[in-house]
Amino acid sequence: MNNISIVEFIKQSPKAELHLHIEGTLEPEQMFSLAKRNNVQIPFKNIGEAKNAYNFSNLESFLKIYYEGAKVLLKEEDFFDLTWAYALKCKEDNIVHTEIFFDPQTHTNRGIDFDIVINGIYKALTKAEKEFGLSFKIIMCFLRHLNEQECFNILDQALAHKDKIFGVGLDSLEIGNPPKKFEKLFKKAAENNFITVAHAGEEGPPEYIWEALNLLNVKRIDHGVQCLKDEKLVEKLSKSQIPLTVCPLSNIKLGVFDKLNDHNLKKMLDKKLMVMVNSDDPAYFGGYLNQNLIETQAALNLSSEDIKTLLINSFKSSFLSEERKKVWINKI
Ligand code: ADE
Ligand code: ZN
């Protein structure tokens, strides 16, 4: 397969996306139109100025802008429109299954009802499922910079929406907020039959990945790229085949690696870790899923076999039924 056909292969193959924050799909154009519709002030004069501000030095500097941007989301129709726009990107990129994160506390702490947030997101995904067959799961993330009690409160609110929310995760500022801070919370979530995942080893040390596995009992690690610093951990991840939802363009934008050529995805593949590619917050990091795959393939000189493995892993690592996984994997 030459380079052009690898790009075509990436574009045409069915894909699953497993690490996507719906608030991170808020394109500057949509941010401006929602700010106008809702009469909300934003800290940018125009779209160009917003894009220029997307020049992050680390996770913390990104999160400040990301939480600021989310302030334009007020009504159910705003959450619907945001999610619908992402669903159309899925169609464009041949993403046939998506497992999206949402951060309710980003909104409830501004006085927005939990129901408004989840209903807008859920209605858009249900419409996409009906109209073009996009299957989905919704994962609610706790903001780890907040305290345990605030997170217990939001878990209580999520119980009324158990029919729509498949699992819980952990995001926001990693360093200084280790998984062990949320051990009791995740125990309660599991008792209520939510599957669990967590961001770990994005900027934080391998120790945080161990804690997510051992104390939060997660089924997947989000990011996990710091695992290569700990041989025992690599052995454990390789044996257990616990998925790591890697987000290459995000890692470059947030300074986890200097350049895409320095990314450790190829090393992870060579160590037989269960990795796949995801877009994280595509409106802020310069590209949706296909763009992530295409740029990473070129930068790391990934073979067509590597790409095939990444795409198959995206389904293997999903929360689809074994039967649906097989159907999609057979099409790759
Ligand atoms: N929230 C949105 N994107 C995130 C990321 N990459 N890491 C942690 N929290 C996030
Ligand atoms: Zn993330």
The residue contributing the CA closest to ligand 1 atom 10 is 172
Q: Is 93 in the pocket of ligand 1 (CB under 6 A)?
A: no
Ligand at shortest distance from the CA of 24 = 1
Torsion angle, CA of 37/43/46/47, rounded to 10 degrees? Answer: -90
Q: How confident is the model at residue 2 (pLDDT cuts 50, 70, 90)?
A: low
- Which ligand 1 atom minimizes the distance to the CA of 103? 1
Q: Is 199 in the pocket of ligand 1 (CB under 6 A)?
A: yes
CATH number of the domain that residue 319 is part of: 3.20.20.140
Could you tell me if residue 197 is inside a domain? Answer: yes
* Residue 253 tokens, joined: 């934008």
Report the residue among 17, 20, 59, 182 best suited for mutation to probe ligand 1: largest number of ligand atoms under 8 A from its CB: 59
Question: Which pTM does this prediction carry?
Answer: 0.98
Q: Where are the beta strands (DSSP E) in 201-265?
A: 220-223, 244-246
- Tell me which H or E stretch contains 101: strand 95-102
Could you tell me if residue 201 is inside a domain? Answer: yes
Residue 95 CA to residue 291 CA, distance in Å, equals 12
Q: Is 19 in the pocket of ligand 1 (CB under 6 A)?
A: no
Could you tell me if residue 91 is inside a domain? Answer: yes
Closest CA to 83 of 122, 138, 115: 122
Could you tell me if residue 74 is inside a domain? Answer: no
CA angle, corner 256, sides to 254 and 260, nearest 5?
Answer: 90
State residue 257's pLDDT score. Answer: 98
Residue 316 CA to residue 77 CA, distance in Å, equals 33
pLDDT in tens, 295-321: 999 999 999 999 999 999 999 999 999
Q: Is 59 in the pocket of ligand 1 (CB under 6 A)?
A: yes
Could you tell me if residue 57 is inside a domain? Answer: no
Pairing of strands 244-246, 135-143: unpaired
Three-state SS for 212?
Answer: helix
Place of tokens 């802020």: 284
pLDDT in tens, 163-218: 999 999 999 999 999 999 999 999 999 999 999 999 999 999 999 999 999 999 99
Could you tell me if residue 48 is inside a domain? Answer: no
Q: For this structure, is 202 an active site residue? A: yes
Domain span at residue 129 reads: 3-27+83-331
Residue 127 CA to residue 87 CA, distance in Å, equals 9
Residue 10 CA to residue 303 CA, distance in Å, equals 12
Report the residue among 172, 246, 257 best suited for mutation to probe ligand 1: largest number of ligand atoms under 8 A from its CB: 172
How many domains does the chain divide into? 1
Residue 323 CA to residue 127 CA, distance in Å, equals 23
pLDDT in tens, 77-128: 999 999 999 999 999 999 999 999 999 999 999 999 999 999 999 999 999 9
The catalytic position among 17, 76, 99, 202 is 202
Q: Is 281 in the pocket of ligand 1 (CB under 6 A)?
A: yes
pLDDT in tens, 20-75: 999 999 999 999 999 999 999 999 999 999 999 999 999 999 999 999 999 999 99
Closest CA to 251 of 273, 282, 223: 223
- Which ligand 1 atom minimizes the distance to the CA of 281? 3
State residue 4's pLDDT score. Answer: 65
Ligand at shortest distance from the CA of 254 = 1
| C-alpha 318 – ligand 1 centre gap (Å) | 19
Could you tell me if residue 108 is inside a domain? Answer: yes
**CB neighbourhood size of 39 (10 A):** 8
Could you tell me if residue 32 is inside a domain? Answer: no
325 pLDDT more than 80? yes
